[in-house]
């Protein structure tokens, strides 16, 4: 009987390990597909731009120079996108080590607020903080966490059309986690947006500049990179649809679970 029970436990452990491996492989495949699409669209667009120039379709040398300048600006933004993806990939594979330490979540949120407040004001939006009076201490990489949360708020401000972002922090000592909730007045579908191609037809300096101004990591890819980063810190990030029933309003919640520091 003991041998059978041991075999059953080993079989269950094997099944669990197989399921986890399959889930990881599925995530990695999806990650590679998203990365390929994230880079393919702007690269294809830039190739189309250079074909236009090489085909002598510019009206004069000055217009050709302006197209080249806009193409150069687009290329610089593309390099920034690649750098962000490569950095998170290196963190994921352990090439770049995180500086895990005890940090104050309240201070992190305040700093993220200061970094995003001007952008929110430019859009005439508000960011409301709901934090407990008592400081919440978590375990993580301070600088990387600030970068990740700032990126999420930046994307949120670009997705919403009205209202305010509400950032709430909570402590759950029983489960040894801190909960960070970011509620945004936008739909879940908006977070699935991917890179847009540069319009091949009727290409003008104005349309190129508009596309260049909007060239950044897509909401979908930003979410994936932040999920990877938080998982390496021992936390996780999920996105939820919390839109009220039978109401036209759409609400999305980013839920971050962050580990508490070990008891000394």
| Residue 75 confidence class, pLDDT cut points 50, 70, 90 | confident
What integer pLDDT is reported at residue 240 of this predicted model?
93
What confidence category does residue 27 fall into, taking pLDDT thresholds of 50, 70 and 90? very low
Predicted TM-score (pTM) of the model is 0.78
The whole-number pLDDT of residue 205 equals 67
Cβ 223 vs Cβ 239: under 8 Å = yes
Tell whether the model's pLDDT for residue 25 goes beyond 50.
no
Instruction: Give 121 or 247, the one with higher predicted confidence.
Output: 121
User: CA 261, CA 171: separation in Å to the nearest integer?
Assistant: 12
In this prediction, residue 23 carries a pLDDT of: 45
Q: Which pLDDT belongs to residue 106?
A: 96
- Mean pLDDT, rounded, of the chain: 81
Contact of 168 with 205, CB cutoff 8 Å? no
Instruction: Give the model confidence (pLDDT) of 184-226 as tens digits.
Output: 999 999 998 766 666 666 666 677 677 777 777 888 888 988 9
CATH architecture of 2-259: 2-Layer Sandwich (3.30)
For the stretch 91-105, pLDDT in tens is 888 888 999 999 999
pLDDT in tens, 216-232: 788 888 898 899 999 99
- CA atoms within 13 A of residue 92's CA, in its CB half-sphere: 17
Taking the CA atoms of the chain, what radius of gyration do you get in angstroms?
Answer: 22
Between 247 and 257, the higher pLDDT residue = 257
| Higher per-residue confidence, 230 vs 88 | 230
Three-state secondary structure of the chain: CHHHHHHHHHHHHHHHHHHHHHHHHHHHHHHHHHHHHHHHHHHHHHHHHHHHHHCCCCCCHHHHHHHHHHHHHHHHHHHHHHHHHHHHHHHHCCCCCCCCEEEEHHHHHHHHHHHHHHHHHHCCCEEEEECCCCCCEEEECHHHHHHHHHHHHHHHHHHCCCCEEEEEEEEECCCCEEEEEEEECCCHHHHHCCCCCCCCCCCCHHHHHHHHHCCCCCHHHHHHHHHHHHHHCCCEEEEEECCCCCCCCCCEEEEEEEECCCCC
Task: List the chain domain ranges.
Answer: 2-259
Convert the pLDDT of each residue in 123-172 to its tens digit.
899 999 999 999 999 999 999 999 999 999 999 999 998 899 999 999 98
Q: Which residue, 102, 150, 123, is CA-closest to 254?
A: 150
* Each residue's pLDDT tens digit, 36-62: 666 766 776 677 677 767 777 677 788
pLDDT in tens, 106-133: 999 999 999 999 999 988 999 999 999 9
């Amino acid at each position: 009987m003991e041998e059978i029970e041991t075999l059953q436990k080993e079989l269950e452990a094997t099944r669990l390990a197989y399921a986890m491996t399959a889930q990881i492989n599925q995530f990695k495949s999806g990650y590679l597909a998203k990365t390929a699409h994230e880079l393919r669209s702007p690269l294809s667009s830039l190739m189309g731009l250079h074909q236009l120039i090489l085909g002598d379709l510019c009206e004069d040398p000055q217009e050709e120079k302006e197209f080249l300048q806009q193409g150069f600006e687009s290329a610089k933004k593309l390099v920034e996108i690649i750098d962000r993806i490569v950095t998170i990939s290196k963190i994921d594979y352990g090439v770049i080590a995180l500086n895990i330490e005890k940090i104050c979540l309240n201070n992190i949120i305040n700093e993220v607020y200061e970094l995003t407040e001007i952008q929110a004001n430019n859009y005439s939006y508000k960011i409301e903080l709901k934090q407990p009076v008592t400081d919440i201490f978590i375990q993580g990489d301070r600088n990387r966490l600030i970068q990740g949360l700032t990126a999420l708020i930046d994307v949120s401000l670009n997705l919403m059309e009205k209202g305010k972002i509400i950032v709430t922090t909570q402590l759950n000592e029983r489960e040894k986690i801190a909960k960070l909730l970011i509620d945004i007045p936008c739909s879940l579908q908006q977070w699935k947006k991917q890179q847009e191609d540069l319009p091949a037809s009727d290409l003008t300096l104005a349309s190129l500049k508009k596309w260049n101004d909007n060239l950044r990591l897509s909401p979908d890819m930003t979410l994936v990179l932040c999920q990877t980063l938080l998982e390496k810190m021992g936390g996780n990030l999920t996105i939820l649809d919390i839109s009220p029933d039978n109401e036209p309003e759409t609400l999305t919640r980013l839920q971050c679970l962050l580990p508490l520091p070990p008891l000394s």
